[in-house]
Every structure is written in C-alpha cells, then in structure tokens.
Amino acid sequence: MKWILMTFSALIVSGCSAAGWYYGAQDERLEQCQRLPSEMQRMECEREVTKTFAEYTREREQALDEKKPPGGGS
C-alpha cells in the first residue's frame, strides 16, 4: 500500500512524465528487492534498481541502437 501512495505522489509531482513513472515504479522494485532470500541477491537487485532515470535512458537508447539494422533503416 505504501508504494501505491509513493507512486501516486511521484506522478502528481512530476506531472506524469516518463521520469515520474520511472521513479514511481522504482519504489515498488526496491520493495521487491527486499524480499529476495540472500544478501547478495538483494544488493545486486538494489544496485540495478537505483539507477537514475538518465542512466536508464542512456542504457535503453544503447540497446535500441544495437537492435537497428546496419544503415540506420527502420
């Protein structure tokens, strides 16, 4: 329930921007990390989840660029 309120608050404050959605969902994912059985799994999960929106966007763009066919076609 807590994550719902935090997500809703983040969306209101951010005006429902992509970053707002990202950070709202990030709270839920952090809660899921806390449920993992081992400390190592939790640490790795939290490291991955706590990326900034800028880091996420950069990695996403790189992944999309790698999927493009040679020559830049659509």
- The verdict on residue 70 lying in a domain is no
pTM for the predicted model, two decimal places: 0.55
pLDDT tens digits for 8-32? 666 566 556 888 888 888 989 999 9
Q: Determine the Cα–Cα distance for residues 43 and 7; give it in Å rounded to an integer.
A: 22
Any domain includes 67:
no
- Domain with 45, as residue range(s), is 2-62
Whether 25 is covered by a domain: the verdict is yes
Q: State how many domains the chain has.
A: 1
For residue range 43-66, list pLDDT tens digits in order: 999 999 999 999 989 999 999 999
Residue 30 near residue 46, CB atoms below 8 Å: yes
